[in-house]
Every structure is written in structure tokens, then in C-alpha cells.
Chain A
Amino acid sequence: MTTSARADGSPLLAVRDLTKHFPIKRGIFGRVDGAVRAVDGVTFDVAPGETLALVGESGCGKSTTGRAILRLIEPTSGSVHFDGQDVLALDAADLRKLRRRMQIVFQDPFSSLNPRMSIGAIVREGLTIHHLAEGSAADNRVRQLLEEVGLRSEYATRYPHEFSGGQRQRVGIARALSVEPSFIVCDEPVSALDVSVQAQVVNLLQDLQRERGLAYLFIAHDLSVVEHIADRVAVMYLGHVVELAPVEMLYGEPIMPYTQALLSAVPAPEPGVKRERILLAGDVPSPANPPSGCVFHPRCQHPARDAACAKIVPPLEEKAPGHWAACIKQPPTAVSWEDQRAAGATNQPEFFLPRAALHRSA
């Protein structure tokens, strides 16, 4: 298998300081007047066979990040290395070759399949483009792929409209698998599905990962699905990764106040248990005009929040082994008290973990 752990232990995917700014054009001449900072300096790794979840609310830049990694949209700056190759430096022909190894499954199983192509033709397209199989060998491969994702091979001659949402998502997965990738960006793959069908697709993704050693970048806003499927989780807010940790640590002891609020908002499926909520004030600010310093500071509930939070951009730093968070008020922090005071700080950093953020009873 091509995806067994790399000998030197280096990541399969290394994303460094990735940025995507969309220019805001005004007037009839399209004068550029500012930018929407959709992704603003994102750094993370994905190991072979690992699932890294990218979570956050709409507009936080998680989908843009996924697309920029695959160069479905061109990043503004930063670097992406896949299996040692510099993805952003590739020309069109090499990029196409690389796409064999990096695939994507989209959120909407209705608009992501061509309605005029049969299911078989959709799955077969990748085989043809990458010269992986022709003629009856390709037919056999298509049938095999459909069965692997839990569809009957006779369906190859049918068209997308004949299928339910969950079945279409299976077709999308078969299409991604056809070129034998080692990495798949799953962009909200189960958000449009009913809970019972969602469970089928989540189980399928996990089975395929076990069998093939696939790595996933799993983009989602549903924190219960993420806890179920992810090895590590990166939380995004306004274009920044604000926390990154193994799944047990993130859900067991969320450090970044935004993550705490996000977790407290998940409904608890136990009647009678009225969860405490951290209700965030106001709305997410516009990414065209993000707050200074820590982008979360205007809505933050940390008791030590002060003037320094509006001045100092908090570095994403390792607060505990493997647990990264961007908050200068959660110790330990490399931003010294002198520096904080110089920026107007009045409150010493002090660890804060409200009960409302925890789902497991202590």
C-alpha cells in the first residue's frame, strides 16, 4: 500500500501559513478596496492514515482551506507540501498527476454529480483520465468500486436523479476512490444527510480508511460527528486555527474560550439535563474587517480578558504536549507578562475552564 507510514515519520500533508484573501472590488473599474481574509495564516499537518477534522462555523474559512490545499482555488500565499512535493509550485500537468493521490468529496450530493452522466460513467471518468484502466477492465473496476461503497453494481447504468442523498454521497466516495488516493478532503460529507443515513456514510468512511490507510481532512461543523470520526481536531475562527489537539484532549479540556463556547452549544441528547450554555454575544465579525489582536476578543468570556487581547495577536502555542491553542490568557504562554502589560494588560493569565464546556460528567 502506498500510504503506509512514511519511514522518516514526516507528515503526508504539511500546510504552512496558508492564506487566501479575496479582493473586494468596488466601482465600475473594479478598484480593489480591501480584502476578505477568508484564510489567514493556517498551519497544520496530516499524518498518513490519520483523520484531521477542521471545525468551525459558517464563514470561518474551513472549506476555503480544503479547496486551497487541492488548488481548486489558488492560495494567496503560504505553502502546501504533499508527500514531500511542493503542491503550489506544480504546473498543470504535474498537478493533474498529483490529484490522483489527493481527492475530494463534496457536501452537496445533488450538485456535485453531473446529472447527464450515468453513475458508471461518473466513477469511470477518473480511471480514463489517469489511464488506470480501459475497456472491460475499467467496467470491472467500476462495478467493484460501487460494491465497495455499498451500492449494487447494476446501478452503473443509472443516473444520479434515481438515487437518494445518501446513495449519491456513496457515488461521490466511489468516484474519489477510483484513482486510489492516499488523502481525501471530505468537505461536510454528511451535513446534508438524515441521521440514520449519516451514520451509514460515517461508518463507510471509517471502514475505507481502515482498509486502505487513507488520510482524511474532515471538514465539518457538527461537533458530535467530528468527535466520532477524528483523531485530531483543528478549530477555526475567522480564518485562523485557534486550537489544535487530539480529539480526547480537545473535548476533555478545551483551552481556547471559543472552543469552550462551541462545545457548550452542542445540544445534549439527554432529557432533563439542561446544559449550561456559554452564550456568545453578537455575531461573528466580518472577515473583511477582522478585530485587531485576538480575532475572538470582542466575544470572549475569559475572565482575564483585557486590553492586551485587542493588541497582541496570540500565537498558536503548545499548552500541553500535543495540545495547541491561541490564547495569551490561558497559561502557559510565551507572551511574557511584561509584553502583555506594555499592551495594556491588567489581568494575569489564569487557567479558565467553565463546566458548561464539558460534556463528560466528572
Chain B
Amino acid sequence: MTTPLLELENLHTFFYTDAGVARAVDGVSFAVGVGETVGVVGESGCGKSVTALSILRLVRPPGRIEPGSVMRFEGKDLMALDEREMQHVRGNRIAMVFQEPMTALNPVFTIGDQIGEVARVHAGMNKRDALAKAVEMLKLVGIPAPEQRAGEYPHQLSGGMRQRVVIAMALVMNPALVIADEPTTALDVTIQAQILELLADLTRRLGTSVLLITHDLGVVAENCTRVIVMYAGEVVEEASTSDLFARAHHPYTEGLLGAMPRVGGEKDRLATIPGTVPPPTNWPKGCRFRDRCPYAWERCETEHPPLYQIGGGHTSRCHLAEEPERRQHPHPPLAAQRGATAA
């Protein structure tokens, strides 16, 4: 990795609900280097999006970033900033691209106004300069007839166009880091290809780092240099993309890769991961994946696995790192033996 731009250490974000304390992000540490595109993958409920919101300190009550969590960005301690300083970071230095472009845009303002607003608020531009900036940004993200489009409202644009507008908004201040939370999930596959191409091209040209949150391993394979796999509020595996696809270590990663149908792949029965993610109010002790794991043994019941170093910057939160011979003896996971898991 290059010089770290963002470093998370032991990030804990909990939600204090009537059903108990939901430990949505439970001790997450990772770093993003300058100019690097890092993927974060995992199923819904594993803590990906809450991690993203925590970095921007956008977690609202009953959620709370717990004391002791460390987030360093460009050498600054994000936790120590007051709200005004934090606002300066948001938009100026870190920008976010959301999944649903329609809800990220305000339906009653023109897109020129909305992109321009970023320049007005963060760079103190006047209205005319801000509009010119908006047109320039629309041109940058490949929207045809940008002068005319700037005067249109979000509903007049297609889904792919709207996502381009959201990306344009994110890049107005030339941020050092863009957090993209499932930026193409709501889009069709041909549009997805366009948007990812655009994001890759812009970050190459501008030297922006990207934290790309997705559930699609295909998207990760093509766009990211490194991958972080999250499960049940924790990082369970981290590796370079090529390492992860060639030598997945954690049984959860192995399961995700096996469950993915591939165009041109074998047409065997798809591998599945039986059961579902446990509720965040009640993570199992020991290994959180053990009920769904085909290798789990007694040790996994009681001993919570640390992130083991398995060489070359590849880490895995699985006791198999110490007892690799157990991989030779898979068995039906507990969740499969129980039939479908409890709701």
C-alpha cells in the first residue's frame, strides 16, 4: 500500500435500540492508501454501510461511535474535530456517492443548482461562478449538452445520468477520498459498466482514493486493488484482489466466491452458505461465522479468532490459520443440520 490517507483503528459503532445494543461495527481496522481503490464486501447487515457513515461521522442517534475508536485522515484525528471542522472535511476532502441517485438528489432544485451549491458552500463561490463550475463538472462526467442539462430537474434524467450527476457533485471540490456505497446496484448492467468506467477514469486522472462498498465480487475483481471482507461487524479477511480470488482463506469468503454464478463458468449446483447473518444485538461468542461454517470445531465455539497474518499483507480471522489441516475435513454446517435457521 502507498502512504495511508485514511486509517481506521478499532472502530466501534453501536446502536442503542429497544431490542438491545446492536454492535453494527465491532472493532474494524483498515487503511486506504493515496490513489488506491479498496473494495469492502459482505452481505447486508455485515456493517459495510455503517462503517462508511462512521467515517463521515454521519451516524445519528440511537447510533453512536464508541469512545476509543480511532479514525485518522490526512494526519487529522477525525474524532477530535468539531462539527464545523467536520463539515469542512465532508464534501471538501471526503465525498460520498450513494446507492440510490434519486434519493440523493433534491427533486425541487435543478441539477446545476445542486452541484453549484457544493461550490458555493465549500469554496464560497458566487452564484454565477458556481453555475459555471456545475457545467464544467457535468462535462467532466460525460453528460452531453451540459449547459442545457444544468437547468433540468432530477426527474428529467435517467438513472445512469442521475448517478453521473451525483458523482459530479462528489468531485466538485476535488476530494482526496470518495466513498461509493453500492454506486451501481440500482443500475442496469450496461449502465453499471459506464459508471464504473467513469469512476475509474476520473480517479486515475485526479488521483482520488476510492472506498468502494459493494456486494458484487465481480465489480471488486475489476476495479479494486485490495479487498476487505466484512462479516458480522468485523473485518474477517483482507488481501490484494488477486490474492483474495486465488487464495481465499476465510470460509466466509470461500462461500461468497462459491455462491456466485459466473458467466462462462461451470454449471454445477451453486454452493450456498446455509443460514443467515446473526442479529447484531447478539453476536455469537467464539467465531461469529461458526454456525454457517463447514470446518468449525470446538475451538470456534469458545475462542474468538483474531485477524491472523497469513503472509504478504493477507489477513484472515479464522483459526484455520493455525490448524490448516482441518480444511481437509469439511462437514455440513450447524445451520444446514438445523434446517432453515430461526428467523
- A135 on the B face (CB < 8 A): no
A264 CB contacts on chain B under 8 angstroms? 193
From DSSP, what is the main secondary structure of chain A's interface residues?
loop
Cβ-defined contact, B264 with A262, below 8 A: no
- B3 on the A face (CB < 8 A): no
Interface residues of B in 273-290 (CB under 8 A from A): 273-274, 276
- A283 on the B face (CB < 8 A): yes
Interface residues of A in 237-268 (CB under 8 A from B): 251, 261-268
Interchain CA distance A274-B159 in the complex, whole Å: 25
Shortest distance in angstroms between B181's beta carbon and chain A's nearest beta carbon? Answer: 16
Assess A228 versus B340: contact at CB under 8 Å? Given A266-B189, A279-B193, A283-B161.
Answer: no
Partner of A267, one of B160, B215, B216, B270: B216
- A151 on the B face (CB < 8 A): yes
Cβ-defined contact, A265 with B218, below 8 A: no
Cβ-defined contact, A58 with B188, below 8 A: yes
Partner of B272, one of A196, A223, A225, A267: A196
B158 CB contacts on chain A under 8 angstroms? 283-284
The digit string for B86-118, where 1 denotes a CB below 8 A from any CB of A, is 000000000000000000000000000000000
Shortest distance in angstroms between B192's beta carbon and chain A's nearest beta carbon? Answer: 7
The digit string for A192-213, where 1 denotes a CB below 8 A from any CB of B, is 0011111110110010000000
Assess A266 versus B218: contact at CB under 8 Å? Given A225-B261, A279-B197.
Answer: yes
Shortest distance in angstroms between B233's beta carbon and chain A's nearest beta carbon? Answer: 16
Residue in chain A with minimal CB distance to B194: A279
A268 CB contacts on chain B under 8 angstroms? 218, 221-222, 262-263
Assess A262 versus B190: contact at CB under 8 Å? Given A163-B343, A199-B271.
Answer: yes
The stretch from A40-48, A89-97, A164-172 touching chain B is A164-172
A283 CB contacts on chain B under 8 angstroms? 158, 160-161
- A321 on the B face (CB < 8 A): no
For chain A, give the interface size range. Answer: 35 or more
A162 CB contacts on chain B under 8 angstroms? 343
Interchain CA distance A273-B270 in the complex, whole Å: 23
Interface residues of A in 140-166 (CB under 8 A from B): 150-152, 155, 158, 162-164, 166
B159 CB contacts on chain A under 8 angstroms? 58
Cβ-defined contact, B188 with A150, below 8 A: no
Cβ-defined contact, B221 with A227, below 8 A: no
Assess A152 versus B340: contact at CB under 8 Å? Given A195-B259, A224-B263, A265-B192.
Answer: yes
For B, the interface residue count at a CB cutoff of 8 angstroms equals: 49
Interchain CA distance A180-B144 in the complex, whole Å: 53
Shortest distance in angstroms between A266's beta carbon and chain B's nearest beta carbon? Answer: 5
Cβ-defined contact, A269 with B188, below 8 A: no
Assess A203 versus B263: contact at CB under 8 Å? Given A150-B340, A158-B343, A221-B188.
Answer: no
Residue in chain B with minimal CB distance to A266: B263
- B267 on the A face (CB < 8 A): yes
Residue in chain B with minimal CB distance to A166: B276
Interchain CA distance A261-B191 in the complex, whole Å: 11
Cβ-defined contact, A269 with B260, below 8 A: yes
- B203 on the A face (CB < 8 A): no
Cβ-defined contact, B222 with A275, below 8 A: yes
Cβ-defined contact, A199 with B190, below 8 A: no
Cβ-defined contact, A359 with B340, below 8 A: no
Interface residues of A in 257-305 (CB under 8 A from B): 261-275, 277, 279-280, 282-284
The digit string for B224-268, where 1 denotes a CB below 8 A from any CB of A, is 000000000000000001101100000000011111111111010
Centre residue among A158, A195, A200, A282 by max chain B CB count within 10 A: A195
Interface residues of B in 170-198 (CB under 8 A from A): 188-194, 196-197
- A57 on the B face (CB < 8 A): yes
22 inter-chain pairs at a CB distance below 8 angstroms, sorted by A residue, are A57-B189, A150-B339, A158-B343, A163-B343, A164-B276, A196-B43, A196-B273, A197-B276, A199-B259, A199-B260, A200-B272, A227-B261, A262-B189, A262-B190, A267-B192, A267-B218, A271-B242, A273-B221, A279-B190, A279-B194, A279-B197, A283-B160
5 closest residue pairs by CB, A with B = A267-B218, A359-B264, A196-B273, A57-B188, A199-B259
Other A-B pairs, 20, CB within 8 Å; known A270-B221, A271-B241, A280-B194: A152-B340, A155-B343, A164-B276, A170-B340, A195-B215, A195-B256, A196-B43, A196-B255, A196-B272, A199-B271, A221-B188, A223-B189, A227-B261, A267-B192, A267-B193, A267-B219, A267-B221, A268-B221, A268-B263, A280-B190
Interface residues of B (CB under 8 A from A): 43-44, 144, 158-161, 188-194, 196-197, 215-219, 221-222, 241-242, 244-245, 255-265, 267, 269-274, 276, 339-340, 343
Interface residues of A (CB under 8 A from B): 57-58, 150-152, 155, 158, 162-164, 166-167, 170, 194-200, 202-203, 206, 221-225, 227-228, 251, 261-275, 277, 279-280, 282-284, 359-360
